Amino acid sequence: MEGRYRGLLEAAPDGMVVVNQDGEIVLLNLEAERQFGYARDELVGQQVKRIIPEGFAERLIADGARSAAEALAQQIGTGIELYGRRKNGNEFPIEIMLSPLGSPDGVLVTAAIRDISGRRAAEKRLAEMESKRRFVEDALRESEERYRVLLDGIRDYAIFMMDPEGRVISWNAGAERIKGYKADQIVGQSFSCFFLPEDIRRGRPEEVLRITARDGRHQEQAMRVRKDGSRFLASLTFAALRDPAGSLLGFSEFSHDLSKSKESEAKYRGLLEAAPDAMVVVNQGGEIVLLNVQAEKQFGYSRDELVGQQVGNIIPEGFAERLIADGTRSAAEALAQQIGMGIELSGRRKDGSRFPIEIMLSPLESAEGILVTAAIRDISVRKAAEEHLRQSEELLRLTVSSVKDYAIFMLDPLGRIATWNEGAEMLKGYRPNEILGRHFSCFYPAEDIKSGKPEFELKEAALTGHIEDTGFRLRKDGSRYLADVVITALHDGEGRLRGFGKIIHDITDRKEAENNLAQMTRELTLKNQLLGSVVEGTTDPIYVRDLENRFLLANSACAGLFGRSVIQVLGTSMRELLPNDSYYAVAQSDREVVLAGDTRTVEEVAEIDGIVRIFLTTKGPYRDADQKTIGTMGVARDITERKRSEERLVKTARELKRSNDELQQFAYVASHDLQEPLRMVASFTELLAKRYKGRLDSDADEFIDFAVDGCNRMQGLIRDLLAYSRAGASGKALHRCPSEDALNNALVNLRAAIEESGAVVTHDPLPAIWTDDKQLTQVFQNLIGNAVKYRSAEVPCVHISATKNQSGEWIFSVRDNGLGIDPRYFERIFILFQRLHGQTEFEGTGIGLAICRKIVERLGGRIWVESEAGKGSTFHFALPETPQAAESGAPGERDLAEKEAKR
Ligand code: ADP
């Protein structure tokens, strides 16, 4: 049995270390050597804490105070994270299972140490779920690793490979141990060096290869030579390795040293029990001859129930049978068939349930013949994790392929398209078969290709891991769209670039909307600025107030009214700015505007800083976007000054009128009442002249003449003054009358003067106008009278005409061929008592033209003269066609006029 246990120990896939009560390593297996990187001799006799963390190593040892079983109970299932330390100082995660081992030297502890770095990595990968590709690579690596572990684990067999010429290309630990060469010493050498010199001479190495190549496999038992020259009997199996096409890749050799040493059985039993895997030893009849605790646990049987049973009961039969070495093939051959076959296996429990397993095998020669040890590992957890990963990936793949708004695809490291989703097809218009394998630069516009943009983007992504770009891309039909592109470099576990992931989103619409918005915002800003500068630029206060009379907007002019800045005014209520009376008046008018809902212009009076101001305010409701009134807005104009000057003007006009009235009344009264005594003086002077002319001396006659003349002049003056004071104050309403009638009346009145001078008076047809006919007669009479009076040597010719001007006035003209007037006096002649000629030359009072002006102006017109001295004059007067609010005479004046009429 001892050989059996020893085989088990060496075949175990875990590192096995046996420690005594002093913490010294007393035994270890090949895997432990490999894991910790020490040769066996370096570790035996050493403290276990060298390779396992101290705290743990110490607690692991049973001491006087507690039994080995107690020490173990403490450790198992503690679930703490442990690390082993390699000879080179590196640490790696481990899992430890313990079992006590009674021995003649006292209680030993067996530790089965498993390097779980691989599992850790797998756990991490699961969390990452990055890509199926990476997972597959990892899985592949893992299986290679397992394969290598297996080869290394088979310590009793030299297993290595050769090229077609027989040169060694791989080397396992068993080969090193059996043949004594280290890998670096033998790789590249011909395998003939393992042969005896006599065999080499007769060409046996070449012959073996030839036979193997021909038959596919070859088996023999023969003597071989170790590196140190010692000889041993070996059992050898050669196999030819061919690729699927059948061409020869090389050979493998499995060899076995048939001479062995012996070791303590108890130690091996302990090791078997401590193994974390279920271990089952099967004989050539397929019967179970030995198993460990773990196997009991896994399959749910007690040991007694399984020993002697067919292994097919717990492991599927087909496999179990092939697993057994039989007469026609060696155990090594059976193994060769199984290793790396990668089929899915399952174990069957006593209750009939199945669970996925992984089996590692090693042959074991014993007194009962060749046995096979199977290390069976329950991989349900890993399977479940794999399945979970697969499902997640499937989900991810489905998600990616069904995304329609985004083109999502992969590029190989050279930029060729490797995958294509539905979104990519919709966005770019290519079917998968049209685009897969093509270079991705076909999506770029010509100018980008010329500038090397596609290559640049890949390089950049490879360098920095990730790039983002917004730019134009092409669809299959050549049309452009604006794309938002993200390129991500994809690396495998070793950091090699595997390709690129590309995500593209069409943002043409979004960009357009953004542009429109930007344009609108610009226009709005411009309008706002314009509006702002208009509002700010005006000197009229402009405001918006809410319904509580707080300023929402105010321009500087508005804020300035209150002696504040715009910022200070905003948010402030009118209540704080105005005294109560003024505030209520303004608030009331605001309320009315809000109620009426329309814009109106009102005069507002407000006391600001103690000064009463008057505003002409145009105000209206201020509405929000929903047309709801939320305040009032208005533009005010401070009309205080205008109002005051208007008032002043009215007052002045009133005063002027009063004094004018008084003056006129005085003139009238004076001229009227002077007539009475004058008439008496005149009549008595005439009487005096009649009775005493020629009766007194010549002086007396002359004095009487002077007196009569003076009286006549005085009467003329008074008559004219009276006429002047009455001018324009007829009190009669204006009516439409033919101006020709007025002219004819004037000519009748002037008949004596006209006849006496022999003057010729002509006229054009004259219009009918709104006027006072008597007064118009007076104007004609004065002007024609003057024209005849101030005649030259020629026979006076007077012509009267009328034309209408553009503003609808009638311009009357009285043209003469008389003396003419120096332009210097054009204004002066219209002033009362102003004359250009002396009394001896021409009689006159200097009142005629003043009367004309007064009448014309009161009819709403004007009068002026055009002349040149010596060339005659033309007097013009303009009268409105329609009646004007011609000022009627003062009341007093009218009364007097009536009085005069009665007389
Ligand atoms: P009076 O004729 O009584 O002097 P008016 O007021 O009618 O007073 O005229 C004022 C002055 O204007 C006259 O004294 C005369 O010198 C001048 N004048 C008026 N009409 C004419 C005219 N048609 N030609 C020349 N001078 C004139």
Q: For residue 7, what pLDDT is reported?
A: 65
Half-sphere exposure of 484 (CA within 13 A, CB side): 9
Q: Which two tokens stand for residue 611?
A: 């000064």
**Does ligand 1 lie within 6 Å of residue 375's CB atom?**
no
Q: Taking Cα atoms as reference points, which of 55, 57, 29 lies closest to residue 43?
A: 29
Rg (CA), the chain: 68
Q: Give the integer Cα–Cα distance in Å for 175 and 189.
A: 14
SS3 assignment, position 180 = coil
As beta bridge partners, residue 804 has 810
Q: Give the integer Cα–Cα distance in Å for 724 and 830.
A: 12
Q: For residue 398, what pLDDT is reported?
A: 61
**Does ligand 1 lie within 6 Å of residue 12's CB atom?**
no
Q: Helix/strand/coil (H, E, C) string of 257-269?
A: ECCCCCCCHHHHH
Instruction: Give me ligand 1 centre to Cα 883, in Å.
Output: 29
First to last CA, the chain: 178
What is the strand order of the sheet 862-867 is part of? 760-763, 797-804, 809-815, 873-880, 862-867
Q: Which two tokens stand for residue 881?
A: 């066609």
User: Which helix or strand (DSSP H or E) is residue 709 part of?
Assistant: helix 698-726
Q: Give the integer Cα–Cα distance in Å for 413 and 425.
A: 22
Average pLDDT of every residue of the chain? 80
**Does ligand 1 lie within 6 Å of residue 784's CB atom?**
no
Q: What is the largest CA-CA distance in the chain?
A: 213
Instruction: Give me ligand 1 centre to Cα 310, in Å.
Output: 164
Instruction: Give me ligand 1 centre to Cα 873, in Å.
Output: 11
Instruction: Give me ligand 1 centre to Cα 820, in Å.
Output: 10
**Does ligand 1 lie within 6 Å of residue 865's CB atom?**
no
Q: For residue 58, what pLDDT is reported?
A: 58
Residue nearest to atom 16 of ligand 1 (CA): 836
Q: For residue 262, what pLDDT is reported?
A: 34
Q: Taking Cα atoms as reference points, which of 270, 293, 274, 275 lies closest to residue 106?
A: 270
Q: For residue 61, what pLDDT is reported?
A: 56
Q: Report whether 779 contacts 857 (CB < 8 A).
A: no
Residues of the chain below pLDDT 50 = 1-2, 62-65, 73, 76-79, 129-133, 135-136, 261-267, 325-329, 336-342, 885-903
* Residue linked to tokens 């000889």: 231
Residue nearest to atom 20 of ligand 1 (CA): 786
As beta bridge partners, residue 363 has 372
Q: Which two tokens stand for residue 356?
A: 């996925």
Q: For residue 617, what pLDDT is reported?
A: 92
Between helix 848-858 and helix 773-789 the angle, nearest 10°, is: 150
Q: For residue 783, what pLDDT is reported?
A: 97
Q: Are strands 480-491 and 466-474 parallel, antiparallel or unpaired?
A: antiparallel
Q: Give the integer Cα–Cα distance in Å for 334 and 779.
A: 155
> Which one of 719, 790, 798 would you pick to mutate in the ligand 1 pocket, going by the greatest count of ligand atoms within 8 A of its CB?
790
Q: Give the integer Cα–Cα distance in Å for 903 and 896.
A: 11
Q: For residue 781, what pLDDT is reported?
A: 95
Q: Give the integer Cα–Cα distance in Å for 409 and 133.
A: 14
Q: What long-range pairs does 37-42 form, CB within 8 A, spacing at least 24? A: 37/86, 37/87, 37/88, 38/87, 42/87
> Which one of 849, 853, 856, 877 would you pick to mutate in the ligand 1 pocket, going by the greatest count of ligand atoms within 8 A of its CB?
849
Q: For residue 264, what pLDDT is reported?
A: 39
Instruction: Give me ligand 1 centre to Cα 842, in Å.
Output: 9
Q: Would you report the helix, strand and coil content of the chain in percent, each value rounded to 5?
A: 45, 25, 30
**Does ligand 1 lie within 6 Å of residue 846's CB atom?**
yes
Residue nearest to atom 19 of ligand 1 (CA): 786
